[in-house]
Amino acid sequence: TPGSEAIREIHLEVPRQARLALVGPTPGSEGSPSERSLEELWIVLHGYRQLARRFLRPFRGLAGPNRLVVAPEGHSRFYLEGAPGPHRSADPVGASWMTREDREMEIRDYVAYLDRVRGRFAGPGTRLTVLGFSQGVHTAARWVALGAGGEAVERWADTRLVLWGAALPRDLPSGSAGRFRALSELVLVRGKQDQLRNRDDEEWEERWLDREEIPFQVEEHPGGHRIAEPLLRERFRRPLKK
């Protein structure tokens, strides 16, 4: 028939396993707090080319009896080096949250994924910190803007959002500012020697936050494009207050 040779694309929902790295008590295991008694949950989102277990290393000092740190891993993994063809077992592997290819579906998938992570580990009284680093900044921001379906803005009221090493994406959906206003704290972290730092994006970010009357704080560390452990400990180790 005419047109039968045309290529078309569809989407098919399939189950798959997600990998997460954790440090701290595992809710529900023997001798550890249950989901309902866990006081603090940190969900930390890695940058492009990183794996969750490696990204989690600087956060080990934050874990405690009632604070669990969880690093979900992006679903797209790839070899970081080498020519096409067979790879050696020692070739490094990284992960990504998304690319520009089929981006809207990839955003929808990781938002649903992070909603599941929160639902697995956070109880009704759990205070949440979401930290995104580099590519994870856009992932974290879009999760706040789009996550939890049609649930109330108040879902984010006990949440601290830390955006480290990148600025907010400029394509946040309209109407999402209320979710950012509901945050208990919004912290923007920048490295003075960060070679990927974009001042234009930072200026746009601060103008948008000011225009939408969203309170925020800026922290700087002397290093480059990385998680600076001294600032992490000094600024965020204290328990998050309600």
Distances, alpha carbon 79 to alpha carbons 95, 98, 101, in Å = 9, 15, 18
Q: What is the dihedral of CA 145, 151, 155, 157, to 10 degrees?
A: 70
Predicted pLDDT of residue 62 = 95
pLDDT one-digit tens code per residue, 71-121: 999 998 878 776 566 666 677 888 888 888 988 999 999 999 999 999 999
Contacts of 98 (CB under 8 A, 6+ apart): 74, 76, 106, 107, 110, 139
pLDDT one-digit tens code per residue, 138-179: 999 999 999 976 566 777 888 999 999 999 999 998 889 999
Backbone angles phi, psi at 184, to 5 degrees: -70, -25
Between residues 185 and 81, the one the model is more confident about: 185
Predicted pLDDT of residue 32 = 52
pLDDT exceeding 90 applies to what percent of the chain? 67
Predicted pLDDT of residue 26 = 73
Where does the pLDDT of residue 204 fall: very low under 50, low under 70, confident under 90, or very high at 90 and above?
very high
Domains, the chain, ranges and CATH?
20-79+92-236 (3.40.50.1820)
CB 42 within 8 A of CB 131: yes
Q: For the whole model, what pTM was predicted? A: 0.90
d(CA 66, CA 22): 13
CB 104 within 8 A of CB 114: no
Mean pLDDT for 19-33 is: 74
Query: In the structure encoding, which two tokens stand for residue 63, read together?
Result: 């874990």
For the chain, the farthest-separated pair of C-alpha atoms sits apart, in whole angstroms, at 68
Between residues 131 and 13, the one the model is more confident about: 131
Query: In the structure encoding, which two tokens stand for residue 176, read together?
Result: 């999402």
pLDDT one-digit tens code per residue, 36-82: 568 999 999 999 998 999 999 999 999 999 999 999 999 988 787 76
